[in-house]
Structure formats: structure tokens, C-alpha cells
Structure 1
Amino acid sequence: MRLRFEKRYFLLASGLLALEVVIALYLHDKIIRPYVGDFLAPVFLYCLVCSGLAVAPMRAAAGVLLISYLIEFLQYFHFLSWLGWQHIRVATVLLGNHFEWSDLLAYTGGVALVLLVEQMRGPRSLAPNGIGGSAA
């Protein structure tokens, strides 16, 4: 795993972050905010990881899914309250504030979408600047 800058993934991550913030701050419905937002969260993380690291898609997706699950389980244990951050809006928007089993399913679906898209795109180079290398 090497550092590299991948513009396409960076732009996708930036757009997804903006969309997630809009969803978190302005949508208070019963479908988009609780389900679509959680579905897109690991897609955002995946794009963020791939924008800066040369890493195989399966490895990146597995890491993102584990991070997503970890954040959700930290919500179960009221992690923000432990830190005294429960009233900090940015922390609650980024890390959430309550555990939901359905979120784990949404995260899994988001990672499944990422892997499906990556598989449809075919192997990608992991070499710096997209020259040479293999997708292993």
C-alpha cells in the first residue's frame, strides 16, 4: 500500500461528502436520511481511501466496512458522550449519535455497490500515476 493521489476518487469523495452533509443537516425524512445517507457513507469512505492510497479494491472495501461497523458500534456505547462531544454538531453529523442495526445493513449494501462498480470497471493499476502495476 503506497500513497498516491487519484483525482477521480478525490472528486467523487468530495461530492459524496457534500451530499452527506446536506442529507445530515437538511433532510429529516424517514427514508433518505436514515437509509440513503448510511448507504452512501461507506461509498464516501471508500472513495476517500482510494483517492490517497494505492490499495486493492477488496482490501479497501473490507477496511471501509470494518471502520463503518466500528463507528456504528461506538454509537451503541455512546462514544461521543464519553468524550463529552455529544453537543458538538460536527461530531454528531460525522459520527452519528445512536445505534441502529439497519445501519449495518446499509453499510454492507454501500460496500457491495462499490465492489460491483469496481468489478464492472475491471482491474485498475495500483502503481503511482496509473502507470504499470497490477490490481492485486
Structure 2
Amino acid sequence: MWVFRKKYAVITIILLLVEIAIALFHFHPIVRGFLGDVLVVILLYTFLRTFLLISPVKIALGALLFAFTIEFVQILNPVEFFEIHSKILQTVIGSSFDPWDLVAYSIGFVFILLLEKIRCDVNKAKSN
């Protein structure tokens, strides 16, 4: 059940650095507000794939459900409720519910599925 996949670890680190850059630098609102959310599901997925020997679809669904859960929790405004002052935690938790974030997470999920399908097709072609 547990494994270490170096390839996914490297991708996770690269995506984390991209997400940090998006958070720190003033990119176009579409990059910061939408592309970052697309990438966060992919980041979660690659992180989980680094360590878990579970079906890629299940891991992708888990990443999507986690992102959706965090988004819906934002309706309750946990940053204000728990008086969170850390800018890092505020960024991770988010401060307001946005249905467009759900769209972005879903796009990230579909992108993962497409990449996994391509990866499987390439592996099949190599084995034939």
C-alpha cells in the first residue's frame, strides 16, 4: 500500500514551487484565481501518488473531494471563526466560497484523468 515514487515526488515539488510563486507574485487574476486552483488538485494528486499504491482514479477522486470539502468549509468562514492570523493558513484554507473554484478543481481532475489515460496508452504501446 505504501511506496515512494521519485517521479511523482519531483512533480509535486515543482508544482508546489509554482503554487508558491503564484501566491507570492502578482500574476494576472486568472492565473492567481483560477489556474492556481486547477493546479492545486494536480498537486494533491501527485503528492498522494508519491506514497500511495492505490488506483490513480481513486487518488484523483480523493484529491478532488478534499478540494471540494475545503471550498465548502469556506462557507462557514473558518478564518474569521477561528481568528486565524497566519497569511499562509489563510491562503491554504481560503477566505470565501467561490463556485468557480469548484469548476477549476474539476478541470484539474479531468486533466489528471486525461494524463493517466495517455500514460496507460503509452505503456500499453511500449509493451506490444
The two structures share one fold, judged by TM-score above 0.5:
yes
Q: 1:75 deviation in Å?
A: 1.2
Mapped to 2, the partners of 1:77 and 1:28 lie a distance apart of 28
Mapped to 2, the partners of 1:4 and 1:82 lie a distance apart of 38
CA RMSD of aligned residues (A): 1.2
Q: 1:11 deviation in Å?
A: 0.6
- 8 Å CA contact retained: 1:21, 1:93: no
Mapped to 2, the partners of 1:77 and 1:84 lie a distance apart of 13
Q: Report how many residues are paired.
A: 121
Percentage of matched positions with identical amino acids:
31
Superposed CA offset, 1:99-126 (max 9, x none): 1100000000001001100010007xxx
Aligned match of 1:43: 42
Aligned match of 1:11: 10
Q: Tell me if 1:83 matches 2:82.
A: yes
Q: 1:72 is matched by which residue type in structure 2?
A: E
* Greater per-residue helix proportion: 2
Q: 1:93 is matched by which residue type in structure 2?
A: T
Structure 2 portions without partners, runs of 5+: 122-128
Aligned match of 1:93: 91
Change (3 A) 1:28 1:97: farther
- Length-normalised TM-score, structure 1: 0.84
Structure 1 portions without partners, runs of 5+: 124-136
Aligned match of 1:53: 52
Q: 1:28 deviation in Å?
A: 4.7
